[in-house]
Structure 1
Amino acid sequence: MVRLRFSLFQAVLGALLLVAALQLLYLALLSGIHGRQQRRRYSQLFEARGRGPGPGPGAGGWRLPADAGLDASGRYRLYRDVSRSPVAARAARSPGLELSLATHSSVHNLHQLPALVRRWQGPLAVAVFAPAGELLPALLALRRLELYCPGLRDTVTFTLVTPSRLRLPPYPPGGLDGEQDEAEAHWDPGLDSDSEPEPHPPCRRALAPLHRLRLQRRNYALGNASYPNNLLRNAARAALASRYVLLIDMDMLPSGGLHAHFLELMSSPRGAPPAADRTLFVLPALEIRHSRRLPWDKAELQRLYQVAEVRPFYSELCPRCQAPTNYSRWINLPAGGPGLRVAYTQPWTDPWEPFYISRATVPPYDERFEQYGFNRISQACELHVAGYTFAVLDNAFLIHKGFKLASEFHPQKDEENRRNRILFRQFKQELKLKYPDSPRRC
């Protein structure tokens, strides 16, 4: 009887072990199938097989590099032209590109790129910073922007910048594609609060996940990572070998037709100043209320300026930073037609940090400056010491979407400013050694 019970126990135990073994085998097979599906999705998304440029997975020519170069500090890794853009290929094959725009962004500000592409209507380079935890969302965002936003792939080249310890993974973890699809399927028009909304429906749906991402960050508050803005500016400027370059922040837009108008100015016998190589063509920067439509030309801007819907950039935070532009003189200039000309020159005075079109050969930004404070003014200071002229254009401008308010910044901004102020004092002493014969100081 005992032997019979023991035999039954052995049979039941054996059956249970068999069931458990079959379940483990099933899970292993399911995991393998799921892994192959994820790798196939990634391959479709980032590794085109030459199936033509249609608006869907597999379009284009993405071949993500297995490695990339490090910056001078060794802290960051730069993946140049991650999408193998046609504009970058054309610039490499046929040197002679006259004018490009360079800008930088985190993944949380990429939703503003399609509007910038529409405004600029010319070659454009973007350096995107992706810290830990944001690498895959950044790659997916870039790919979707290229696939679904008109004109973007043919005009934009991307440089991806990451902390040096991060490497591009062979394929994304399960579920990431599904999360993106889910976000697009439940796109909320209320998320698109920009004053220049996206008119193209497929692009608008692709922007939906990015609009949600922007709500997760305040300015440069990236957790444990520092935003290397000057490194990004240099990386974007170097991405396209053009004669002239306009370098701006992602949340600014140029006046309509600026690309074509500036090329006309440079080709006109009376337009370009004699020392154009040493001239910085200043674009007055302004900011507009979030609720207003962005002006296309100066006439429209003047009307908004008169009713206080537009004001000089950084009016509340640092009025002295833009005051040397002389807005009262610029806004009242007589209409000179649709083109551009140099209206007047302004001597550089501390702490002016203008935006300008310059020759691509101007000194680079000092990459030691990160986060907030003295990152742009350091280069303007050096250009002044190096002997450059600041020439204000009459009908061109930059417009920032929304008034800059102190309440919108993260709590660490003042401490970042303090650290960079100390670095800036050191930087100015270094300029005396770099330009010993210059009579200029800043």
Structure 2
Amino acid sequence: MARLRLLLPLPRARCWGFRALFASLLLLAALQLLYLGLLSAMHGRQQRLRYSRGGGRPGAAARGGEPQSRGALTLGPGRLDPSGRYRLYQDVGRSPVAGDAGDLELSLATHSSLHNLHHLPALARRWQGLLAVAVFAGPGELSASLQLIHNLEGHCPCLRGRVTFTLVTPSGPPEKGAAPGPGGGEPGTRDPQGGEPPDPHPACRRALAQLRRYGLGRANYALSAGPYPNNLLRNAARRALPSRHVLVIDVDMLPSAGLHPGFLRLLGRPEEGRPGAGRTVYVVPALEMRHTRRLPQHKAELQQLYQVAEVRPFYAELCPRCQAPTNYSRWINLPAAATATTSTSSTGPALRVAYTQEWTDPWEPFYISRNTVPPYDERFEQYGFNRISQACELHVAGYTFAVLDNAFLIHKGFKLASEFHPQKDEENRRNRILFRQFKQDLKLKYPDSPRWC
């Protein structure tokens, strides 16, 4: 019996040993799972970091995926503008365009500060050709601007291979590094496409939401970075694509659907080869729409909205004389052309010259022109006389203003005096004085011209 009592505890000891072994195995399995989880997270972080720096899978762009790597987010020395006050960095996007443009007939040029750049995808979807955008970045915003541009282009397929970006910043010592710093506010509180259907790609919508957060509370003419050099930006965008013809507009405007292919067909007609065609600019009437939930694509839609006062001439409240020579009452009553279609897609309405208008002060039309027209005078910054000055020079240089019948631009929202920055009137006064000097300069530049402004 004593011997049996000594043997009884042995099975219990063995049970405890098995339990300890089982617990050790469970702990080992848990540690392996934790290791695999950490390894996966580290790999994902490396991939995201690689993508944010311009990386991606080799050949992904050819398969319709992410663009190929362009290296780390760094910029070269750039170049100074003639005044020495600004530095320009050309073609900073992920998918270079300018070098591949080739024999380009028509492009669109626009400009923006960071807070307005969210309009770009909607503009690219409307315009069926290549675009150039000059982006103004203030001191300390250069790295943030480059990061936001790369994110936008990397996540929005409609921009890849179609848009060339030029960064413009005040000259000075190089910044020591600035990370993107989105501002406050909730994403998606307002349609980031501005009246266009939401972008079909969720990643693009997230990139647009980041841009909108970054720009909350900012305005082009009320930036802390100093004066907004709108004419310098327009010229930089024009130079970025070597096209024969160019349409220069603001980034928060949309062209009518089919304007790009319609104008190319217009150029192909024999009458466009007649003498003097090179001295013609083609005016695209500009209008503004009260509500931007569904912006019109064709003139027939625009005419209906015009009749119910949802659409009116551009700058109707701020400066009606600045657009009056377009003769909107005549233009809006011209019959809308049917949209030409092929078996695969819509090519837009047929375009023709409806009538010509003589330039009168202070007309500032938007137009398609040869890219050889005089550049915008870069002395004009901030608000006032920046576009009028170029139209005035075209008039003195002997250009004809021909109004297109079925093409238009639509601005997102009514332009209201109450929404402008407080310094607008003072900036307008300073630029009016500069405009007087500008007109005297034109007399020296075109001494044989019978025209003046």
TM-score (norm. length: structure 1)? 0.84
Is it true that 1:68 corresponds to 2:78 in the alignment?
yes
* CA pair 57-396 structure 1, distance change in 2 beyond 3 A: closer
Q: Find the aligned partners of 1:183 and 1:419 in 2 and give their Cα distance.
A: 34
Q: Find the aligned partners of 1:86 and 1:228 in 2 and give their Cα distance.
A: 25
Is it true that 1:313 corresponds to 2:314 in the alignment?
yes
SS of alignment partner, residue 416 of structure 1 = helix
Pick which of 56-65 and 358-367 moved more: 56-65
Q: Find the aligned partners of 2:190 and 2:360 in 1 and give their Cα distance.
A: 43
* CA pair 166-62 structure 1, distance change in 2 beyond 3 A: farther
Q: Find the aligned partners of 1:392 and 1:143 in 2 and give their Cα distance.
A: 38
Q: Contact conserved, 2:67 with 2:160, CA < 8 A, in 1?
A: no
Give the Å deviation of 1:50: 7.0
Q: Find the aligned partners of 1:47 and 1:149 in 2 and give their Cα distance.
A: 14
Q: Find the aligned partners of 2:65 and 2:272 in 1 and give their Cα distance.
A: 45
Q: Contact conserved, 2:54 with 2:94, CA < 8 A, in 1?
A: no
SS of alignment partner, residue 424 of structure 1 = helix
Q: What is the aligned counterpart of 1:137 among 137, 144, 150?
A: 144
Q: Find the aligned partners of 1:194 and 1:300 in 2 and give their Cα distance.
A: 18
Equivalence for 1:78: 88
* CA pair 293-62 structure 1, distance change in 2 beyond 3 A: farther
Give the Å deviation of 1:135: 1.9
Q: Find the aligned partners of 2:133 and 2:292 in 1 and give their Cα distance.
A: 27
Is it true that 1:113 corresponds to 2:120 in the alignment?
yes
Q: Contact conserved, 1:66 with 1:168, CA < 8 A, in 2?
A: no
Q: Find the aligned partners of 2:119 and 2:171 in 1 and give their Cα distance.
A: 27
Which runs of structure 2 are paired with 1:16-415 in the superposition (5 Å)?
44-48=51-55, 51-53=58-60, 59-61=68-70, 64-83=74-93, 85-91=95-101, 94=102, 96-167=103-174, 172-173=178-179, 176=180, 187-190=187-190, 192=192, 194-200=194-200, 201-270=202-271, 274-337=275-338, 338-415=349-426
Give the Å deviation of 1:139: 1.2
TM-score (norm. length: structure 2)? 0.82
Q: Contact conserved, 2:89 with 2:168, CA < 8 A, in 1?
A: yes
Equivalence for 1:7: none
Equivalence for 2:438: 427
Letter in 2 for 1:129: F
SS of alignment partner, residue 157 of structure 2 = coil
Give the Å deviation of 1:195: 1.6
Q: Give deviations 1:368-395, integer Å, cap 9, x for gaps.
A: 0000000000000000000000000000
Letter in 2 for 1:121: Q
Q: Find the aligned partners of 1:85 and 1:250 in 2 and give their Cα distance.
A: 20
Structure 1 gap segments, 5+ residues each: 1-37
Give the Å deviation of 1:49: 7.3
SS of alignment partner, residue 362 of structure 2 = coil
Letter in 2 for 1:105: S
Q: Find the aligned partners of 2:450 and 2:229 in 1 and give their Cα distance.
A: 31
Q: Find the aligned partners of 1:317 and 1:421 in 2 and give their Cα distance.
A: 16
Give the Å deviation of 1:292: 4.1
Structure 2 gap segments, 5+ residues each: 1-44, 339-348
SS of alignment partner, residue 97 of structure 1 = coil
Superposed CA RMSD: 2.6
Give the Å deviation of 1:42: 6.7
Give the Å deviation of 1:220: 1.3
Q: Find the aligned partners of 1:341 and 1:334 in 2 and give their Cα distance.
A: 12
Pick which of 145-154 and 189-198 moved more: 189-198
Q: Find the aligned partners of 1:233 and 1:44 in 2 and give their Cα distance.
A: 31
Letter in 2 for 1:306: Q
Give the Å deviation of 1:153: 1.7
* CA pair 324-241 structure 1, distance change in 2 beyond 3 A: same
Q: Find the aligned partners of 2:323 and 2:152 in 1 and give their Cα distance.
A: 33
Q: Find the aligned partners of 1:247 and 1:188 in 2 and give their Cα distance.
A: 29
Q: Give deviations 1:52-77, integer Å, cap 9, x for gaps.
A: 33688884425643211100000000
SS of alignment partner, residue 213 of structure 2 = helix
Pick which of 288-297 and 258-267 moved more: 288-297
Letter in 1 for 2:264: L
